Amino acid sequence: MFKSLLACMLAVVSAAPAAAQTANRGDHRYRMTLVRAAPGRLVDMIESVKARTAGSGAFLFRHSQGDQWDLLVLVPDGRSAASPRNELADPALVAWRQDETVVGPDLAARSGFAEAGLYHFEMFVALAGKRDELLREREMENVYLAEVGRPVNAIFVREFGAEWDSFTIGAYKSWTHFAERDRITPEQTAAAARKAGFESDAHIGPYMRSLIALHHDTLTTPVR
């Protein structure tokens, strides 16, 4: 089954316009940092991160549901704040942190991204030898999402650092916008899945999980 899925997937990705793939992946470099606040210091830590990333074009995302970190910070071009030891927050306010350098699309130029009110992160560690296939699967899902009228994901790929091979971000106007998937009919999802190269809507999740060792989901709100 997966061999036939892969054949379909390669055909879909090869046929996809190069400009669309570039828009969703891109070649912009970012420093991605996950941080968890020291007990009782979340507000102080957020203010510290905001101060140290001011003027850098950074995007700050605050955990709402899902993973155990409090903030995810994306600083464009891999630039670091001008602070001791490259810290994005006062170390006294941080209980845990994780960094990596990633390549992805130009978020500042991505329509509606900076103005969104809710973001869905999916973070992946691929199985050995499956990193490229996982990226193609994410591109297939973007075809599917576009077909059913949902926001497509920005795709990021690790250069070096933490264990995450890739992660994606879906930007939504609001919690209501995120929940509107319930309005899509089974007929629409079935047709979209076939166009994207999946056997059916029900096969999207199992196929993705056949490629990964670890997968974390997190819903976040913006810090502005």
| CA distances from residue 221 to 12, 54, 142, 204, 212 in whole angstroms, order as listed | 33, 18, 22, 26, 26
Instruction: Give the count of beta carbons closer than 10 Å to the beta carbon of residue 217.
Output: 11
Amino acid identity of 209? R
Residues present in the chain in total? 224
CATH number at residue 113: 3.30.70.100
Question: pLDDT per residue over 118-171, tens digit each?
Answer: 999 999 999 999 999 999 999 999 999 999 999 999 999 999 999 999 999 999
User: CB neighbours of 124 closer than 8 A, spacing ≥ 6?
Assistant: 134, 164, 165, 166, 167, 212, 214, 215
Eight-state DSSP code of residue 121: E
- DSSP assignment string, 132-194: HHHHHHHHHHHHHHHHTTPPPPEEEEEEEESS--EEEEEEESSHHHHHGGGGS-HHHHHHHHH
> What residue spans of 32-102 are helical by DSSP H?
42-53
Residue 172 bridge partners (DSSP): 118
Q: What is the pLDDT of residues 46-98, one digit of tens each?
A: 999 999 999 999 999 999 999 999 999 999 986 554 444 578 999 999 999 99
Domain count, the chain: 1
pTM of the model: 0.85
In the chain, the percentage of residues whose pLDDT exceeds 90 is 77
**Both tokens of residue 163?**
């264990």
Q: Which domain holds residue 97?
A: 2-223
